[in-house]
Each structure stands twice: as structure tokens, then as C-alpha cells.
Amino acid sequence: MALRSRRIDITEQSRPVLARHAKLKFDKARQVWVILVPERVLAPDEIAVEILQLCDGVRTVDQIIDGLAAKYTADRGEIGTDVIAMLKDLADKGFLAEAQDRKS
């Protein structure tokens, strides 16, 4: 639907980055990572932070999953499901963009 063109679908081939209006930041005062979005502050856990830091617009979701599976010597299928679920959740809220869409 053209109206919602900025809402992206997440597949293993996506190269997601945080949208311009979603900022991942370490909150020094509270010593926690936060994602700042309009009217809200989200508190991602450590793994979510690690995934988002890998969303640099160069890596595909596929590569991100490979990297995490290798690092944690974990089942690729399980990791893939979790990573995609988290990214989909963020994308549905409008907080992720495709790399080429991003206005630098």
C-alpha cells in the first residue's frame, strides 16, 4: 500500500537501519541503553542492543544472524527466528528503514 511505503518488511535479505527518528543511545545518567522515538523511550535488552548495533545498513539480516549464531555457537534457526521477530516488531512500529531509503 503506497500510503505506508515507509513501513518495511523484514526478510533475510533486508539491510535494515534504525529510521531517522529512532535513536539508539546509551543513557549515561541511568546506565542503560535506550531507543528514543516520538513521545516514548524504549528500553532494549542487551541482545536487542547488539542486534541493532549490527543493523548498519551494510549487513543483511542473513549476515547478522550468521554472525550471532557463530559468536554464541547457537542454533541458527532459533536465532534467526528471534532476530527477525524483534526486527519485525520494530519495523511494524515504523522505527526501521531500508538502508537505501535512509536520508543521511
Partner 1 sequence: MSPTLTDASPVHADPTDGLAVLEQRKSQAETFGIPLAVLAEVTHRCPLQCPYCSNPVELEGGGTELSTDEWKRVLSELADIGVLQIHFSGGEPTARKDLEELIRHATDVGLYTNLITSAVLLTKNKLAVLADAGLCHVQISFQGSESGVADRVAGLKDAHARKIEAAHWARELRLPLTVNAVMHRQNLFQLPDIIQLAVDLDADRLEVANVQYYGWALKNRAALMPTIAQIDETSRIVEEATERLKGILAIDYVVPDYYALRPKKCMGGWGRQFFNISPSGKILPCHAAETITGLEFESVRDHSIAWIWQNSDAFNRYRGTGWMPDPCQSCEFKEVDYGGCRCQAFALTGNAGNTDPACAKSSVHDSIFKTAMSESEGDSRRFIYRNFAGGTLENDPHEA
What letter represents residue 40's amino acid? R
Q: 16 near 8, Cβ under 8 Å? A: yes
- Strand 32-37 versus strand 16-18 pairing type: unpaired
CA distances from 69 to 34, 37, 50, 104 (A): 25, 29, 13, 30
Per CB under 8 A, 100 contacts partner 1: no
* Site track for partner 1 across 15-54, x = CB under 8 A: ----xxx-x-x-xxxx---xxx-xxxxxxxx-xx--x---
Angle between helices 61-71 and 46-54 (to 10 degrees): 130
By CB under 8 A, is residue 10 in contact with partner 1?
no
Count of chain residues binding partner 1 (CB under 8 A)? 40
Residue range at the interface with partner 1 (CB under 8 A); choices 10-18, 58-66, 71-79: 71-79
User: Contact residues for partner 1 (CB under 8 A)?
Assistant: 3-4, 6-7, 19-21, 23, 25, 27-30, 34-36, 38-45, 47-48, 51, 68, 72, 74, 78-79, 82-83, 86, 89-90, 92, 94, 103
